Amino acid sequence: MLIAALSAAVPTAPAHAGGDPFAQIAATNFDIVAQGVQALATSGNPRAAAVIDALRDGKLYAWKWPRPDAPLYIRSATGFVDARSGAPVEAPAAINLRRVIVNDSVRAAIATAEGALGLFAKDPAARRTAAEALYQSADPGALSLIERALTNEKNAGVAQVLREAAAAALLKSDNGSGSTRIAAVDELATRSDLSARNLLASLHSEPPPVAAAIAGAIHDIDRRLKLWSLVENLYYGVSLGAVLLLAASGLAITFGVMGVINMAHGEMIMTGAYTTFVVQQLVAATMPGLNEFGLLIAVPAAFVVAGGLGIVIERCLIRFLYGRPLETLLATWGLSLVLQQAVRSIFGATNQDVTSPAWMSGSLDVGGLVLTVNRLWIILFALLVLGGLMATLRWGGLGRSIRAVMQNRRMAAVMGIRTPWIDALTFGLGSGIAGMAGVALSQIDNVSPNLGQNYIVDSFIVVVVGGVGNLWGTLFGAVLLGIVDKFVEPFEGAVLAKIIVLVFLILFIQRRPQGLFPLKGRAAEA
Amino acid sequence: MRLDRANIATLSCVLGGAAVLAAMNLLIPAVSPLHVPDFVIAIAGKYLCYAILALAIDLVWGYAGILTLGHAAFFALGGYAMGMYLMREIGARGVYANPTLPDFMVFIGWTHLPWYWYGFSHFWFALAMVVVVPGTLAFVFGWFAFRSRVSGVYLSIITQALTYALMLAFFRNDMGFGGNNGMTDFKDVLGFPLNRESTETGLMLVTATVLSLSFLLARAMIHSRFGKVLIAVRDAEPRTRFLGYRPESYKLVVWTVSAIIAAIGGALYVPQVGIINPSEFAPGNSIEAVIWVAVGGRGTLYGAILGAMLVNLGKTWLTSALPDIWLFAIGGLFIVVTLFLPRGITGLFTTRQPPKGSKQASAATEASMREAAR
Amino acid sequence: MSEPTLLYLDGVTVSFDGFKALNELSMVLEPGEMRAVIGPNGAGKTTMMDVITGKTRPDQGRIVFGADIDLTKLDEPAIARLGIGRKFQQPTVFETLTVRDNLLLALAGDRSPRFTLWARESADEHAQLDRLLATIRLVQERDRRAAELSHGQKQWLEIGMLLAQDPKLLLIDEPAAGMTDAETAETAELLREINRTRSVVVIDHDMAFVRALGVKITVLDEGCVLAEGSIDAIQDNPHVIEVYLGR
Amino acid sequence: MLSIEDVDLYYGASHALRGVSVTARIGEVTCILGRNGVGKTSLLRAIFGLQPIRSGHIRWENRELDRLPPYQRARAGLAMVPQGREIFPRLSVRENLETGFAMLPRPLRRLPDEIFELFPVLRGMLGRRGGDLSGGQQQQLAIARALVTRPRLLILDEPTEGIQPSIIKEIGRVIERLAARGDMAILLVEQYFEFARDLAASYFVMERGEIVLSGRRGDMDETAVRAHLTV
Amino acid sequence: PPAKAATAIAATPETGPIKVGILHSLSGTMAISEVPLKDVMLMLIAEQNKKGGVMGRPLEPVVVDPASNWPLFAEKAKQLLSVDKVAAVFGCWTSVSRKSVLPVFEHLNGILLYPVQYEGQECSRNVFYTGAAPNQQAIPAVDYLMNQVGVKRWVLEGTDYVYPRTTNKILEAYLKKKGFGSADIMINYTPFGYSDWQAEVAKIKSFGSAGKKTAVVSTINGDANVPFYKELGNRGIKATDIPVIAFSVGEQELAGIDTKPLVGHLAAWNYFESVDTPANKEVVAAFKKFTNNDKRVFNDPMEAHYIGFNIWVKAVEKAATTNHDAVIDAMIGVAHPNLSGDYATMMPNHHLTKPVLIGEVQENGQFNTVWQTPGLVVAQPWSPYLPESKNLIGDWLPPMSCGSYDVVAGKCLGNHKA
Ligand SMILES: Nc1ncnc2c1ncn2[C@@H]1O[C@H](COP(=O)(O)OP(=O)(O)OP(=O)(O)O)[C@@H](O)[C@H]1O
Ligand SMILES: Nc1ncnc2c1ncn2[C@@H]1O[C@H](COP(=O)(O)OP(=O)(O)OP(=O)(O)O)[C@@H](O)[C@H]1O
Ligand SMILES: [Mg+2]
Ligand SMILES: [Mg+2]
């Protein structure tokens, strides 16, 4: 029945003069290959699915130079099988073979082919994507096929999509009574996404009742879309905020708490990112099984590497500068130059490829929203980092000792606090946090020697807006800036948006010269 | 006093040095080994401009304790004002031979000159703008900032934001300042071809003179009672209020003066390097300029000049001598200076205060910085 | 023809997140009067000076200076320019300036940048400075940076700065703190000297010192006046003994 | 006991301590007197290692302190009430007190009750920021803070400065009590002569960085001492 | 004329080693792109010396680091020409760096070989543009999408600076000419190093869901690309839905990205490392050997340097001197095989003839050529699609000898150039 279905499905399939679809696929011209795929899909040949899959996965091989019988082989785990028969053949000499490569047109052909084939696949997910494809193509010709699929579709979700696909197809075709068409319109209205809207918008010369229905549908689709876009901007703002927060939280320690004007902060982030790269390489080399989790290993690794580096820096450099905080600017600036060049010399000036594990790629559809998974993770991670940081500071009065040392180093020593210890620890902590931020940023940005430079200014801005030395402030500052930016962007474009944010910042500081949460009273001057 | 001698020395170094270079370039025939090539004149002129910027920064940072991370903005604005004049000077000699419109405007398809370009064909007008525009910006910015008692790093950051915003703004082509390519391919200033040796030398000498003058001005300011008040403000701003001083107006004066000095430096810079574009606004530039001051020695005017000169000399030399690893060298230099020359290179010459400042003194600055850091 | 009061605090209240540091405090200071203010730690004495000098804004109440100037409407410099000088409880001086320059900046005169830019040190300013340095016994330290002074020396320097301002009204917070008994006695003498021409409000905990001043005393407690009167009256006042003097 | 043997201390060029020798016994109060700027605080700074000494020795419980950093000395049982309070302005009163915990073993990490008996006001202000306290309150906090670390050598630099008479009396009694407990040496710098005289078991008078007069309570010649305190 | 006087200044020694200036940023933001160009130059020079140098004289590279700082570019150019007296300079990437050195080269009458595709609207006697002019990259790319892919809606997405703005202006004019309405063209700019693409990509997606085949023509600059493509990948925008064709993304940039999600997206260049010709394989292998790192990739600007260098060598040998004027004249008409086959010839307008290749991204980070201009394309530095330049041509052969000649008015604009 599958065959029947298919032949019904694509009645308009143009048969290529050459006849044999396999020969066409073996051809070198992409357009012919594409026709071959289409023809094969509709030919009802039982090998169709296997061959097309092989083609998609780049497992399909042809003879390097033209041959009348145009042989095709599928490379399997064990060896080669003949594409036509599926019978195993002894491996031909590699030099004679060429992989059949595909381009966009071929891929498109494969997609529709699979759409047709997929409708009757075992796996509901596959059926769903197939249905989606058909919905998108809204091809009246496919109507009968869709209906046939609907009749024996058990899965509610898939059925829904099929109904929508049917509605789309119906509306595109010009048959169907007014009532059925109106029903179809409502069907699409429920779906209320851009594609539905556009499809409806593209319908003209409908009978009045239908036209009215369409207008209505479009109207409330628009309303919903407007709402969603608001939520969407909010989300963008928050996720940008999360990135800023990550970038800044390390600085909130080294600068906010310690008062070190830490120009090398960006390089700490960079260190974290490169650690990620190295870890991924090592994992890939030593235990490929864990590839997916290289990132998770990188987080503590980055913390240790950057943190360690931080401690070294503090011991060898910063500690001589307490009491002359302004000079830390000079030293750390020099340091950042050195670190950048060091990375450039070790890894080369070009970007490094940090891969995203599967669980961090792709996106979720929540209502009208498309939330990219990596951003979700980053938001979560940012909050975790901040939370962890606060916890650490609570723990064993560490935070108290740190603040005591920073407020009056000599008196802290008199109270028996190991000041050198605290200094090193604090700077290490801040650097380590920056390192962890680097892991996250490696997922959304270039891993290059300049990575740090892209974040240093924003980081300082965030810390300052939040009010120096106030972690909550850093949180709010980051989110505030993120949201402002993302709400301006749609109207003014990205470039002006950034300018406006900066101006906003300047004015904001006028109003709140001590940041979001200023200290009041005598303590402020003390 | 000791300091004074150092100052006089700097002055004579700047002027004398410039004069000698000029002479050796113009009078001595090119064949002679003693001849100073134009290249040297050109970079000397460039350094002198940087020195002016450094001086301006030291005035506000070293004496009023305002750590500005956006002074390059005024430098660049001055540069743009001058650039606009030079652009108009080109006249019909541009590639599109448009008598009024600069090439880049023709290029983005504008048909007539925007109003804010009027007048820039006159040198005097451009000069006025060099002072007025950055001066006004600085005044307005400072007036708001100081009046609402923005201080310490909060001020530093908004100065940074200011220059950053300006950079992005000037990047935009439709601002009418040449987008990120900025302005270049200048022909001549006041009729003197820019690429003629004598013009280059002349510009260099002018720059040296301007530097000396602004140096004297700055010195006069900080040695007056005004200067003492500035230092008092730097140490304990709240306390000065109870003596009846208004710190904000003091800061505003020195801030605006400093901005104007920087702007003039920028105006001299452009004809000598032959290009002005938004990257001059880059936050990094301002920070680098602050670095020069720190290297030379914050709070000693001649230190600022020295720092600017040395760092840039180092940069010029290292980028050719060790192109692949020069950052190690220059970065290392900065670190070494902070560690071993707490008061910058000039710290080597003066022994006005006990090394590293006494415990209490440092505690005091620490406190005041904490103050600032909040 | 009774001339107007010099300073009049009228129901001044200052509270910090709920806690009332000053509570409906009212007080009158006659021109040329010297007033000693005592009271338990935390009674609100320093806060009182804060509100007079504009450092802290009161939540309620008026502070009238001279005929009809409401100080609560003015900011610190404006108040200082009216001729109200203050010495802080914690000595606060300009650490990196020399002792002499500290005094120079305090000297009465125009405070505007326009003036200070051109100001040259006049002969009598010079003389004044020398006199001051002598008074506060820092002649040797004149060219040392204030940061290098001992605690007590800073106290003296600040008193010197106060004198230099030549104000109508001096607010002096704990001058005797950290002074030897002998110095304390001299300070009292100095203040009486000053009081010939100016009005003074002085806070201290050293009863010997207060006695030496021999003036009317106001006792603050929990932000309002507990008692007022001569030293002997105060010292026998059971409340004062209870909350302040102890037995 | 604490023994200081001819210590010299310089600030840059200026010679602030000239061969100062002082001893302070456990179980009694040792008092250092002197006018402003004679070097009292400098001496205390030297003892705590806050200012390096040029020559001389500082021995505590016959252990050389000279090389130790301040926090090690604190851990050796020293505690100080510095001149000018040096409260941590942006820590709460409680936190100010708890800074002492850093050097204490876990079990000892609680605030001794005596400090609240001594300074009842503090109890009501635990949440307030140290910097917001009044001068006197800060002074009280500073003393309390020093006691948190259970010191065996308590160094007090003009502890009565800015404190109301009743509490000064109270402090006097406490100092006596602590001394009487016999496990603590107390080094007291004072300018408030009566206060010092009533407490001191032995006293040292300084003049321009030198010890010019010393002795025990019994043989104190008051007029001579006062002479050194007047100008 | 000033040129002659200038020659005196920049006269290069006629004996001893021939110095060759390399003016590429080795630090700062542009190092990412420019360092490989320095490497390839060093390799080419080394190999030339193995062959006995030029005219029997060894070549000596003079490497300097202008550190992505435009005024420093000018300073370094001055130094190379007037102090080191180099025979030619290979360098610059960004337009602004070229603009900043241009006056120097014209005044000191030096020779600059500029290897990067650029916005055109320039044609200096002292510069040889070995990269593509817009009509050698952008236009054919759009043609491909229009004709082969059947694109009906266009997103022109670029970084906000001169190259993208000009290119997009040209493309817009071109598309309008081809009858696309403004409704079907969306132009959008983002700042340098832009990294949060969520909103922008969402915009593109909705623009693309109008039912017509949509494509993105990307002039996004270096750093911003990685996050852009990552966002595309995560949003599941596949090449089959909305193909993106980029003009600034080559093998070098892809080396920094996980290409799986990008498979099928396009780039237009005049060369791909993957083109399979013996010459190419040889050079690429040589480069990997030279840098002894077989992860290194080769890209279009590197090929441009390869061609430019060889043409310059031939020109010097033809002129039998390193004298700038002689070499400048000799360069015109010299040809050298492209690595993609066929010949690159230096035209009188100081640009090269080039083939245009459209490639699709493959998993392995290489491009798979899916289309190629039938013949070679001659550069039009002055775009015929922009009113202000439609009458202009550049031709440095006498009698015209002019960089911007108005064929209508029949006179040479910017008279100083001649
Ligand atoms: N900013 C503030 N926040 C909270 N409480 C404050 C603040 N400033 C002052 N206080 C409280 O107000 C009260 C009055 O303080 P004030 O300094 O005026 O006391 P005082 O009379 O000067 O005491 P002392 O004699 O110790 O100097 C004190 O309890 C103090 O803790
Ligand atoms: N940080 C410093 N730098 C330079 N000199 C200092 C420093 N601190 C104190 N001095 C000087 O050392 C001498 C002793 O100072 P010290 O503080 O020990 O005096 P003191 O006896 O504590 O006086 P007081 O009773 O006023 O506290 C004083 O002359 C002071 O000027
Ligand atoms: Mg008080
Ligand atoms: Mg003392």
Neighbours of chain C (3+ CB pairs under 8 A): B, D
Facing D230 at nearest CB: one of C46, C89, C182: C182
Give the chain B residue nearest C75 (alpha carbons). Answer: B241
- Contacts with A137 from chain E: Cβ below 8 Å: none
- Contact check, Cβ <8 Å, B330/A322: no
- Contacts with D133 from chain C: Cβ below 8 Å: 42
- Distance (Å, whole) CA B45 – CA B38: 10
Percent of chain E with pLDDT over 70: 96
> Tens digits of per-residue pLDDT, B79-123?
999 999 999 998 888 888 888 889 888 887 888 899 999 999 999
Higher pLDDT, B166 or A78: B166
Comparing CA positions, the residue from E138, E41, E114, E162 lying closest to residue E380 is E138
Rounded to the nearest integer, the mean pLDDT of chain A is: 84
D37 CA to middle of ligand 2, Å?
Answer: 5
Indicate whether E6 pLDDT > 50. Answer: no
pLDDT given for residue B141 in this prediction: 96
> Tens digits of per-residue pLDDT, E198-227?
888 988 988 887 778 899 999 998 778 888
pLDDT given for residue B194 in this prediction: 87
Candidates D11, D36, D230: best to mutate against C (most CBs of C within 10 A) is D36
In this structure, the strands spanning C169-173 and C199-203 are: parallel
Facing D98 at nearest CB: one of A397, A410, A519: A397
Tell me, yes or no, whether chains D and E touch by having 3 or more C-beta pairs under 8 A. no
- Rounded to an integer, the average pLDDT of A249-275 is 93
- Rounded to an integer, the average pLDDT of C128-138 is 91
Domain assignment of residue D32, yes or no:
yes
Residue D158 has what DSSP assignment? Answer: S
In whole angstroms, how far apart are CA A413 and each of B134, D74, D184, E366? 48, 8, 21, 61
D14 CA to middle of ligand 2, Å?
Answer: 10
pLDDT given for residue E417 in this prediction: 42
Indicate whether A3 pLDDT > 70. Answer: no
Q: Which residues are close to ligand 3, an ion, with C-beta < 5 A?
A: C 46, 89; D 134-135
- Contacts with B282 from chain A: Cβ below 8 Å: none
pLDDT given for residue A363 in this prediction: 83
Indicate whether B259 pLDDT > 90. Answer: yes
Domains of chain C are 1-83+167-247 (3.40.50.300), 90-163 (no CATH)
> Tens digits of per-residue pLDDT, B16-55?
888 888 888 888 887 778 888 888 998 999 999 999 999 9
Judged by its nearest atom, the ligand closest to the C-alpha of residue D38 is 2
- Rounded to an integer, the average pLDDT of B329-352 is 81
Domain assignment of residue D118, yes or no:
no
Tell me, yes or no, whether chains E and B touch by having 3 or more C-beta pairs under 8 A. yes
- Contact check, Cβ <8 Å, B359/D13: no
**At A432, is the pLDDT very low, low, confident or very high (cuts 50, 70, 90)?**
very high
Facing E191 at nearest CB: one of B37, B168, B326: B168
Protein residue closest via CA to atom 24 of ligand 1? C41
- Contact check, Cβ <8 Å, D163/C205: yes
B93 touches chain E (CB under 8 A): yes
> Tens digits of per-residue pLDDT, B180-195?
889 988 988 998 988 8
Residue A119 has what DSSP assignment? Answer: T
> Tens digits of per-residue pLDDT, A172-224?
777 777 788 888 888 888 876 777 887 787 777 777 888 888 888 888 888 88
Domain assignment of residue D193, yes or no:
yes
- Contacts with A341 from chain B: Cβ below 8 Å: 325, 327-328, 331
Taking only the tens of pLDDT, chain D with its 231 residues reads 899 999 999 998 889 999 999 999 999 999 999 888 899 999 999 999 999 999 999 999 888 998 899 999 999 999 999 998 899 999 999 999 999 999 999 888 999 988 898 888 899 899 999 999 998 899 999 999 999 999 999 999 999 888 899 888 888 988 998 899 888 999 999 888 888 888 899 999 999 999 999 988 888 788 888 888 876
**At B2, is the pLDDT very low, low, confident or very high (cuts 50, 70, 90)?**
very low
Residue A154 has which token pair? 């058990």
C14 CA to middle of ligand 1, Å?
Answer: 10
- Contacts with A340 from chain E: Cβ below 8 Å: 27
pLDDT given for residue E374 in this prediction: 82
**Which has the minimum average pLDDT: A186-195, A307-316, A393-402, D10-19?**
A186-195
Domain assignment of residue D36, yes or no:
yes
- Contact check, Cβ <8 Å, A416/D80: no
Give the chain D residue nearest C240 (alpha carbons). Answer: D166
pLDDT given for residue C3 in this prediction: 62
C43 CA to middle of ligand 1, Å?
Answer: 7
Residues in the ligand 1 pocket, defined by CB under 6 Å: A 521-522; C 16, 19, 21, 39, 41-47, 89; D 128, 132-137, 162
- Contacts with A406 from chain B: Cβ below 8 Å: 370
A248 CA to middle of ligand 3, Å?
Answer: 40
Higher pLDDT, A168 or B204: B204
Judged by its nearest atom, the ligand closest to the C-alpha of residue C88 is 3
Cβ–ligand 2 contact at C155 (below 6 Å):
no
Residues 20-59 on D with a CB inside 8 Å of B are: 50-51
Residue C207 has which token pair? 């009863």
Among D38, D80, D189, say which to mutate for ligand 2: greatest number of ligand atoms within 8 Å of CB: D38
- Distance (Å, whole) CA C245 – CA C40: 9
- Distance (Å, whole) CA E283 – CA E302: 11
- Tally C-beta pairs within 8 A across C and D: 103
> Looking at this predicted complex, what is its ipTM?
0.90
Domain assignment of residue D68, yes or no:
yes
Q: Tell me the one-letter amino acid at A209.
A: P
pLDDT given for residue A213 in this prediction: 86
E387 touches chain B (CB under 8 A): yes
pLDDT given for residue B66 in this prediction: 92
- Contact check, Cβ <8 Å, B324/E416: no
> Tens digits of per-residue pLDDT, B154-179?
999 999 999 999 999 998 888 889 88
Three-class secondary structure of residue E86 per DSSP: coil
In whole angstroms, how far apart are CA B16 and each of B9, B218, B312, C21, E319? 10, 20, 20, 65, 46
**At B343, is the pLDDT very low, low, confident or very high (cuts 50, 70, 90)?**
confident
Cβ–ligand 2 contact at B362 (below 6 Å):
no
Three-class secondary structure of residue D27 per DSSP: coil
Higher pLDDT, B299 or D153: D153
Residue A20 has what DSSP assignment? Answer: -
**At E353, is the pLDDT very low, low, confident or very high (cuts 50, 70, 90)?**
very high
- Contact check, Cβ <8 Å, A506/B283: no
pLDDT given for residue B351 in this prediction: 52
Domain assignment of residue D25, yes or no:
yes
Indicate whether B373 pLDDT > 50. Answer: no
Comparing CA positions, the residue from E310, E401, E370 lying closest to residue E113 is E310
pLDDT given for residue E252 in this prediction: 87
Higher pLDDT, A6 or A181: A181
- Contacts with A449 from chain E: Cβ below 8 Å: 31-32
> Tens digits of per-residue pLDDT, C194-208?
899 889 999 999 998
D188 CA to middle of ligand 1, Å?
Answer: 27
- Contact check, Cβ <8 Å, B359/D12: no
- Rounded to an integer, the average pLDDT of A382-396 is 90
Facing A447 at nearest CB: one of E160, E199, E256: E256
Domain assignment of residue D45, yes or no:
yes
pLDDT given for residue B81 in this prediction: 96
> Tens digits of per-residue pLDDT, C44-100?
999 999 999 999 999 999 999 988 889 999 999 999 999 999 999 888 899 999 999
- Distance (Å, whole) CA E339 – CA E276: 9
Q: Partners of A347 in the beta sheet?
A: none
- Distance (Å, whole) CA A224 – CA A234: 16
Q: What is E217-278 written as a DSSP string?
A: EEE--GGGHHHHHHHHHHTT--TTTS-EEESS--HHHHTTS--GGGTT-EEEES--TT---H
Rounded to the nearest integer, the mean pLDDT of chain B is: 87
**At A18, is the pLDDT very low, low, confident or very high (cuts 50, 70, 90)?**
low
Q: How many domains does chain D have?
A: 1
- Distance (Å, whole) CA A135 – CA A6: 17
Judged by its nearest atom, the ligand closest to the C-alpha of residue D208 is 2
Shortest-distance atom of ligand 1 to CA A520: 1
**At A526, is the pLDDT very low, low, confident or very high (cuts 50, 70, 90)?**
low
pLDDT given for residue E11 in this prediction: 65
CA distance A261 to chain D (A): 21
pLDDT given for residue A525 in this prediction: 67
Residue D19 structural domain: 2-85+151-229
Percent of chain A with pLDDT over 90: 33
CB neighbourhood size of D138 (10 A): 27
Q: Select the highest-mean-pLDDT range: B71-80, B353-362, E407-416.
A: B71-80
| CATH number reported for the structural domain that contains residue D73 in this entry | 3.40.50.300
Indicate whether C2 pLDDT > 60. Answer: no
pLDDT given for residue C152 in this prediction: 84
- Rounded to an integer, the average pLDDT of E368-382 is 89
- Contact check, Cβ <8 Å, A413/D71: yes
- Say whether the peptide bond before residue D165 is cis (omega within 30 degrees of 0): no
Domain assignment of residue D26, yes or no:
yes
**A289 class by beta-carbon count within 10 Å (0-12 exposed, 13-18 middle, 19+ buried):** exposed
